Structure 1
């Protein structure tokens, strides 16, 4: 599949929201996303300092097939990048699109002198965890992700 990987434009967030809704409303996630809530999430991410959005576009019709969005963050003596979302149309997954997005991101982050990329995904969902491992991500033994419901604080 011929493609173009490039930075996302603000106007392309609507198309990204359609993909996001399609993917995360389906298996294995089965989450109750609507195009409006997906767009609100992606829009909020895009307005956060350090935002980077990258899209994978089909070269013939310039149609968005997948994307990655996240934020560069400053730490004491280095910068990190948090992958908020990576999403590829279900019928084109496992064709190298996600890896292409990560590769483009990696090249961009090297130029920006970012030292580390991190992501949060669910354990046991199979493909997402394996995808990140295949692309060099490892479980960081000194870090954990903790949550609390706001009505329990």
Structure 2
């Protein structure tokens, strides 16, 4: 079986939730996802109106990209909600293949812009820059911590 890009569906939830947990527990994210919380997140994204997602598969999922289209005043935009590649498979072109495939699919859908959130000044930002993405000169991310938790990740 050769490497193939498949449309993300419910049948990919379990295997991709495992990839998600393993990827995001590593540097630089150090996030504490459980299989259950990762699966719920992916399921919620899958069920978002305007969902588009793909899995690069070769005997197992090597990586995936998920997000959704939304209307904006100047046309349709696509928000990349989650994108990850197995840690030991990074730097092999998998992420670039997924981004390229996403662009090919979104173009005839009249999507005018793709946007995403990522960590500043790290390997992820360098990857996106290499693939033609740039920092927004107008938008910043702001957050507010709710409750008494002090151990959660903040923007």
Give the structure-1-normalised TM-score: 0.91
Match of 2:88 in 1: 91
Match of 1:37 in 2: 37
**Structure 1 gap segments, 5+ residues each:** none
Q: What displacement does 1:151 show?
A: 4.6
Does structure 1 conserve the Cα–Cα contact (< 8 Å) formed by 2:23 and 2:86? yes
Match of 2:125 in 1: 129
Matched residues in 1 for 2:16 and 2:34: separation?
12
Number of paired residues?
147
Matched residues in 2 for 1:23 and 1:43: separation?
18
Report 1:110-149 matches (<5 A): 110-124=107-121, 126-149=122-145
Q: What displacement does 1:149 show?
A: 1.8
Report 1:51-66 matches (<5 A): 51-58=51-58, 61=59, 63-66=60-63
Match of 1:7 in 2: 7
Matched residues in 1 for 2:133 and 2:142: separation?
19
Matched residues in 2 for 1:115 and 1:140: separation?
15
Q: What displacement does 1:43 show?
A: 0.7
Matched residues in 2 for 1:147 and 1:29: separation?
17
Give the structure-2-normalised TM-score: 0.90
Q: What displacement does 1:108 show?
A: 0.5
